[in-house]
Amino acid sequence: MHVDATLTAFIALALLLLTGVLTWKDILNETGAWNTLVWFSVLVLMADQLNQLGFIPWLSQLIAHSLHGLSWPIVIVLLILFFFYSHYLFASATAHVSAM
């Protein structure tokens, strides 16, 4: 059984709120930590969805076929450039690395 980490974190947060361990005021007082948790969980979830939809495997195959037959120094330079510029498609390094 596969349980998504993002869903688990949100269920745990809901349980902490429902049982009174945390209050909404506690969450609002620690905005930096909760803001990070919420944004990173959404970004990682979106990166996972790109992978599940087949976008990342499709893109990988497209790049592999495009670079086939080139010399290895040119391939390395092109892959580094692609990795660098593909970072602009993602809002965080975590989501970028998760998707790639």
Q: Is the pLDDT of residue 16 over 80?
A: yes
Query: What residue spans define the domains of the chain?
Result: 5-99
The CB density around residue 98, as the number of other CB atoms within 10 Å, is: 19
pLDDT category of residue 38 using cuts at 50, 70 and 90: confident
SS (H, E, C) 21-88: CCCHHHHHHCHHHHHHHHHHHHHHHHHHHHHHCCHHHHHHHHHHHHHCCCCHHHHHHHHHHHHHHHHH
Write out the two tokens for 73. 């120094």
Q: Which residue has the higher pLDDT, 1 or 56?
A: 56
The pLDDT of residue 45 is 80
